[in-house]
Structure 1
């Protein structure tokens, strides 16, 4: 295996024996092979679409294939092999779609090869051998580190973007333009050769595309559940039976809340599910009582101590301890060997039964609340006041301190940075990186909270809308605002957000705790020279550089 798609990759260069995330070499190889076949599907689907032919099953499958290979989603060999076998059938369906469309138009179809005609092995052993030949290391050997890394920069961005598109389509929001975009980029990545210049340009083109995907997800979430609103959230337990929901998926939480009504079970969010408590149509459930725990990387200790059942939606799962393996469940694309899976019918009865069988919390914890729900609608509703405070000199600077949390050393930087921000500055935050400081007290500036939690990583669109609106109000561009972006990254959703920020031309971003292994020094140099992208140093040094 060779995997370097996340921040915790071994020795900062790549996992070669076993994934630091817990991914086995077999799963890694099968995931690389699935992506290779998915490229072949898109080669046909992209050409069919140009002739006016499309198929929703084909479109959805490519997105699911990309998403299932995101870090901390699918760790199960059997389900990965099943997806590959399905991919072979979907590829044939896409081929026929293209050939029939070409015949109807009276044109000669392109003769495709590579991923489009790649013949899969008949047994798993053969699939594993094939997977080894299409991993990132093989691309670097073929094209060199820089071109291989730039190819993977776009591919990893597509994986992150596919997570957003999948959430949107689950809520019924689908877009032919976006489906077509995924096929077009996957078709492009199936080429035999590239240049550095075209790959960099393509990465920026993808960044603009991902903005549309994020906008679609924002529409899906807000149309289904309303716009998030400022909400006090309990972060200590209440007495009684309990279910903990982690991951990112709003619909899974909604369905579970419906099925647990009247059963005497309290439901808690965990990790990136915390922002769900600010959506009007989710927080209406009285048994959605609060948030338990912190970010994904602490789940093994937090789940161990939680006296109820646990549901993992989307990504973020870690290897379960034996102590809670019989009461943790997965659903959607998430899978772990030996963990019970809730299928597409979303019948959560086994999860509910497991919760009722557990002791639950024996007493209420001491009351402690935090306030969340400062998404774009809320922030823009007080934009005039914020602008006035800036003009009066009462708000000096805005800091967006957000992104993924993780387990590697160095992430205490974000706590130190947030607590060092001067009291005349506002802090915007989103994604699970906020757990480094979101339970601390930051006070307010004339009624405006100094810490504004804008939601999940999936809600990055909100921050972009706010930044653009402030720029318009000050009749300038985003780079001229008193705004600095201090970003933490972990997996592929952070990659697609970074590419969107780059596409918007946002400069002088600081990224940490380390720079991606797939961005080679030559690429980092390019991004540094052209956009001022730089690694974090120390909170004191970075604050001094920003504020003077």
Structure 2
């Protein structure tokens, strides 16, 4: 196998024998085969679109399938065999509709490709296609690097677009963009600057997807407001919901109302407590349990109830809790029970059969809900604080967390940030310091939890509003971005920030292994993108 799409790659290079995430070579091969089939489907879908044929089913399938190949989403080879077959069925259905119009169907090799009939043969096909793709790009490793950047960013974009679509937010330009990128991923006539432009275009479209998701979340659940969230537990039966999907959480809350079951969030669902229509409508949404995704084996083992994984961040489960984990949507793992939000009775039954929590446990609280509406409502106080010298600097410290050594940097950085600075955070990177009490400046908390990774959109809106208020551009604000990355959504967000022209971003704990030294040099020269150093060095540079 050849996989370098996440930060945890073996020796910081590429996973050859087995995925560091737990992905098997067989699943890797099937994922590569699926992407190949999606590329063929996209070529046909584009032709169908040009003829006015409805391609909505293929559009949504393509989004969800790209999402399914992201790190820590789906580890089940049976699922991917079904996904491959579905991709071909959709492609052939569109071909028939094109033929009805009297047009000749696109007949490229990729649009006529047929997967083997047996799973073992499909796995081998995937491996062959993977190395063929690598071989085609071997003549120019920098272009190959940017091709991977585009593909991995597209996967992150697909995740956000998928969540937005679930909430009724669609965009035809996004649908077409997915197909256009996939259909032309093997292009050999693009120059290095053109591939860089395409990577930044992924960032532009990701901004649109995050805006759609923001609209879906706020229109459905209301704007987040500052909310105290218990980190302890209360007596009673319990369900733990992990991942990112607010729609799935709402469905679970609806169907557990009146059952006596308490619902806890885990990982990136912590910000869900800030949405008034969730917290006020469903009082059995009790609190937050555990910390970041990479600690789930410890957290899940101790949780005495049913556990639900709604999106990415699933780790290979331990036998001690495997029988009480359920998956939803594109998430899958061999042996885990998969269900849908329309039928969660097995989850409820499991929760009722398990002991639940038998005593109260107070572990304190954290405050969430500092999204753009809340922050901008005190913009005048913030601006006055800066002008009066009470607020010296803003730090955005967040992103995707991971288990690899070196991530204590973010904890140490926040601990060392001076008392006259405000720390904004989002994503699961916050769990390195989310429970620290940093005090206030002029009545404003120094630590502002702005939400999930997709709420980078909210942070961008705050930065733009402050820049406008001060009559400067964002790069002239007393603002430093110090980001951690792990998977493909973080790459999509990074591309969005670069598309917006944001300079001086510090990223860590390592640079993406798929970026060649020359591509890193280009990004450094164009955007001053740099690798984190030590907390002391970076603070001195940011505040100097």
Q: Considering the TM-score relative to the shorter chain, is it more than 0.5?
A: yes
* Residue number among 255, 259, 267 corresponding to 1:263 in the alignment: 259
Q: 1:326 to 1:421 in 2, by over 3 A?
A: same
Q: Does 1:337 align with 2:334?
A: yes
- How many aligned residue pairs are there? 541
Instruction: Report the counterpart of residue 414 of structure 1 in structure 2.
Output: 410
Q: Please name the residue that 2:79 is paired with.
A: 79
1:219 to 212, 215, 230: 215
Q: Quote the offset at 1:366 in angstroms.
A: 2.1
SS of residue paired to 1:115 = coil
Counterpart Cα distance in 2 of 1:367 and 1:155: 42
Are 2:288 and 1:294 aligned? no
Distance in 2 of aligned mates of 1:133 and 1:430: 39
Within 1, Cα distance between the matches of 2:500 and 2:142?
Answer: 23
Answer yes or no: is the 8 Å Cα contact 2:231–2:362 preserved in 1. no
Q: Structure 1's 442 and 98: CA in aligned 2 closer, same or farther, altered over 3 A? A: farther
Kept in 1, the 8 Å contact 2:157–2:205? The answer is no
For residue 523 of structure 1, the aligned residue among 519, 522, 541 is 519
Alpha-carbon distance in structure 2 between the residues aligned to 1:132 and 1:252: 34
Pairing 1:125–2:120 present: yes
Deviations, residues 460-479 of structure 1 (Å, cap 9, x unaligned) = 11111111111111111111
1:141 aligns with 2:138: no
SS at match of 1:370: strand
Preserved CA contact (<8 Å) 2:509 2:532: yes
Would you say the 8 A contact 1:248–1:314 is kept in 2?
Answer: yes
Per-residue CA shift, 1:361-415, capped at 9, x if unaligned?
Answer: 1111125111110011111111111011111111111100000010000000000
CA shift digits 1:153-182 (9 cap, x unpaired): 011111011111111111111121221121
Q: How big is the shift at 1:429?
A: 0.2
Could you say which residue in structure 1 is the equivalent of 2:231? 235
Instruction: Using the TM superposition, give the Cα deviation of residue 267 of structure 1 relative to its aligned residue in structure 2, in angstroms.
Output: 0.6
Quote the residue 1:58 is aligned against.
Answer: 58
1:514 equivalent in structure 2: 510
CA deviation profile, 1:89-112 (whole Å, cap 9, x unmatched) = 1111233344555x4xxxx65744
Partner of 2:32: 32
SS for the counterpart of 2:472 is: coil
CA distance in 1, matches of 2:8, 2:286: 33
User: Of residues 324, 328, 331 in structure 2, which corresponds to 1:327?
Assistant: 324
2:308 to 306, 311, 330: 311
CA distance in 2, matches of 1:368, 1:161: 35
Q: CA 1:64–1:367 in 2, change beyond 3 Å: closer, same or farther?
A: closer
Structure 1 distance, partners of 2:111, 2:152, is: 21
Q: Which secondary structure does the structure 2 equivalent of 1:262 belong to?
A: coil
Contact conserved, 1:115 with 1:190, CA < 8 A, in 2? no
Q: Matched residue of 1:129: which SS?
A: helix
1:384/1:96 CA distance change after superposition, 3 Å: farther
Unmatched runs of 5 consecutive residues or more in structure 2: none
Distance in 2 between the 1:408 and 1:180 partners? 37
Contact 1:442 1:451 in 2 (8 A): yes
| Contact residue 46 and residue 179 of structure 2 kept, 8 A | yes
Give deviations 1:394-442, integer Å, cap 9, x for gaps. 1111100000010000000000001111111110100000000010110
Alpha-carbon contact 1:70-1:315 (below 8 Å) kept? yes
Deviation of 1:49 after TM superposition, in Å, equals 2.2
Q: Gaps spanning 5+ residues in structure 1: where?
A: none
C-alpha change, 1:479 and 1:110, in structure 2 (3 Å) is farther
Question: CA offsets, 1:242-273, max 9 Å, x none?
Answer: 11000111011101111111111111000000
Q: Does the alignment pair 1:479 with 2:483?
A: no
User: Residue 157 of structure 2 contacts residue 202 of structure 2 at CA under 8 Å; is this kept in 1?
Assistant: no
Q: How does 1:421-460 map to 2 (within 5 A)?
A: 421-460=417-456
SS for the counterpart of 2:317 is coil
Contact 1:54–1:97 under 8 Å retained in 2: no
Q: Is the 8 A contact 1:45 1:97 kept in 2?
A: no
Partner of 1:498: 494
Match of residue 151, structure 2, among 155, 164, 172? 155
| TM-score normalised by L of structure 1 | 0.96
Output the CA distance in 2 between the equivalents of 1:257 and 1:477: 43
Separation in 1 of the partners of 2:511 and 2:100? 46
> Equivalent residues in 2 for 1:186-197 (5 A)?
186-197=182-193
Tell me, in whole angstroms, the C-alpha distance in 2 between the residues paired with 1:242 and 1:348.
14
Deviations 1:186-222 (A, max 9, x none): 2221434532121011111221111111111111111
Q: In structure 2, how many angstroms separate the alpha carbons of the residues matched to 1:177 and 1:295?
A: 34
Residues 30 and 81 of structure 2 are in contact (CA less than 8 Å); yes or no, is this contact kept in structure 1?
yes
1:359: how far off?
1.2
